[in-house]
Structure 1
Amino acid sequence: MKNSWKNKILKNAILAYENNEVEKAIHFLKILANESVSTACRLLGLIYSVQSDTIYDEKYWNTRFITSLKKEAQGGDIDALFKLANLYQHGDLVTQNEKKAQCFFLKAATNGHTIAQFHLAMLYKHGFCSLPINDNAYQYWLKIAADNAHPEAMYYHGLELIRQKRYSEAEVFIYHANQKGFWLAEDYINKFLTPSQIIPH
């Protein structure tokens, strides 16, 4: 959601809800929902799940959420693609469909979504979401995510480089994973690297 006015209304809605001004929050969110903003539809579904005496409103807005999310994904929104992939993988608000999940993860990853790239790597590593365990695919997507500065991917790619005895390259990735706050990278540096080895490359 790149439109500044939509972001402003969304922030106002969240602030209103935090201040217990529920009706005001709903008013703002419905403005965005009428613009097919999926986040607004999802929030309305969550609000009505605790505010409504019936489940009708909750189901209605959850359906609107999925419809809006699909529309955003069709428009090339990679965050929407990734969200849809997760929903289909776990069967949350939709019928579980791992083939659709695979497709959406791949589309998001191919179009530069770094979290999707790392997630896809993990799916291939562990054989989740009906994908086969495939070390080549794991290494491929892990490196792409690491090159795109995903903290966890940088750390695990660094470990893979260590296994290949490419120590200098590994240190760079692990150092930058630590700089981005990934705790395992900090732990590794404290245990295995001397101060001279953790100078930025």
Structure 2
Amino acid sequence: MPSSPLPTPHCQTSTHPKRPHPPFYQHGNRDFLLNQTYARLSGLTLLPERYSFTLPPPAPHLPPHQLLLEHGDLLCRDDHGYQRLRKFLRHPLTQRLYHHLSPALKHRLARYLRQQSQQRGQYKSPSHTDVTPDYIDTLFKQHHANILIHGHTHRPQIHHHPQGTRYVLGDWHPHGKILCYHHGKFCLLESHELI
């Protein structure tokens, strides 16, 4: 019998309060199995892997920003091993089989994959685990974007490209890097600075 697609009883019974801004959610490389059912019950709106949207201009005389938002793993095109694994794990058949595993086996499999990832990451050069620069330029052009926001590489920084600006978010250890937009400007802040 397949296990529940909802990982905890809390999510199965929770009611979410009215929120001033609805939360949006974009899959990462460890949580891609969260589905529409989970999102609906949690009050989330799932975004596609690559989400493009327009941000109104900060002032009437300025043009709007065209943003591209994504997790960032698709940008690391030179990491061929990761891209092969990603394609396999995201395949609908693989996911269907996974949902039929016992919870204990799922946990063992997740631990194993995480250990393998950490071991292999030690031997990869930084250029293989970072974004592919030519691909970034292509994305800016394809999506007519002037801002790209992503994570995955865990190298928080602001990069200026000929076609636009790329904001890289950090991981959550010890503190997350959060991108803030205020009065028409973007900045990266440490999460503990907001508390």
**In terms of Rg, which structure is larger?**
1
TM-score, normalised on structure 2? 0.24
Higher relative contact order (CA 8 A, sep 6+): 2
Structure with a larger share of its residues in strand: 2
TM-score, normalised on structure 1? 0.24
